[in-house]
Each structure stands twice: as structure tokens, then as C-alpha cells.
Amino acid sequence: MKREEKTIIINALVEKLQQYAHFYLTDIADLNAEKTAQLRRLCFEKEVQLVVVKNTLLRKALEQLNKADEEIVGTLKGSTSVMFCNTGNVPAKIIKEFKQNCDKPVLKAAYVDECVYVGDQNLETLVNIKSREELIADIVALLQSPAKNVISALQSGGHKLSGIVKTLSERE
């Protein structure tokens, strides 16, 4: 590969790293064509972009963006594919779902919310990270809970009060 071609690929990777907030480094080697197509289709449906990269070119792209953490660079061995996404836990869910049928993909590292997770043992932690939308929904639910309690108390109190007034009026 010529230097110009490498530069083009590095620049494309830099653009992807800037475009997407999170990325996962995985190993999908040894997947046959059918399984790879299934994984790519699943990624496409969940708005995750899967790209197979050369380790040295990815390292250079990470260095340009000052994201070349020691732990991430240490995982750049063997076959590497990158899953780019804007929702932090979606690739982890894809990997977990796909691993139910086979041993791959293996999580090498993940860069999520400016934190680095290294190793497949962190997959469950990454699955449980809540997305921005999930956090907003939780906050809204928490804020609505006290209001619902007050409204239901006022409504039930109103029925009791009308019953007491009615009882008192019938006595006279």
C-alpha cells in the first residue's frame, strides 16, 4: 500500500472518530462470510458502523486525535474491527446478542463516554451503561412520581370530604 493510500485511510478514520462519540475495538476473525454478513446487518439496523482496519493505521489516527491511550494501543494486535456509534451501549448489546450463537466477536477495548474499557470481561458493564435517552426517561419518571402521589392524595381526599359533607347534611 502506498503512502498516499495510507494517508487517505488514516484521514477517513480520523473523520469517523470525530463523527462518532464512542467506538469499540473487536475481533471478528474466524467468522465465516454468513456470520459476518449477519453481524454487519445487525450493526446496520442498530445504526452502528462496523469497519475492519489495520492496527497501525488506526493507531496513527488515534494519535492524531490524542486518543491513543496506552491501554487501547496495547489491544491493537491481530485482527481488529471498529464499531462506531453515537449511543454508548448499543455495540455492547450487539456483541452480547451475537455471542449467544458463536464465540465471536470478542471485545478488545471500548472508548465510551471518554472512558476506556479493556477486555471482554467488561462487556456486561458496557451493556448496563445507560444512554442519554434512557437517563432522561429515568429522570422524568422520578420527577413525575411525587406529583402523581400528590394528585392521587388530593383526589382521594376530595371523595372523602364530599362523603363527610353528605353524611353531615343528612344528619340535620
For residue 154, the model assigns a pLDDT of 64
Do residues 16 and 49 make contact, with C-beta atoms less than 8 angstroms apart?
Answer: yes
Q: Which residue carries 491493537 as its cell?
A: 76
Q: Count of CB atoms within 10 A of residue 166's CB?
A: 9
For residue 64, the model assigns a pLDDT of 86
For residue 156, the model assigns a pLDDT of 66
Residue spans of the chain under pLDDT 70: 147, 150, 153-162, 172
For residue 83, the model assigns a pLDDT of 92
For residue 1, the model assigns a pLDDT of 77
Over the stretch 52-87, which tens digit does the pLDDT of each residue have?
A: 999 999 989 888 888 777 888 888 888 889 999 988
Q: Count of CB atoms within 10 A of residue 126's CB?
A: 22
Distance of CA 88 to the CA centre of its chain: 2
Query: Is 64 exposed, middle or buried (CB count within 10 Å of its CB: 0-12, 13-18, 19+)?
Result: middle
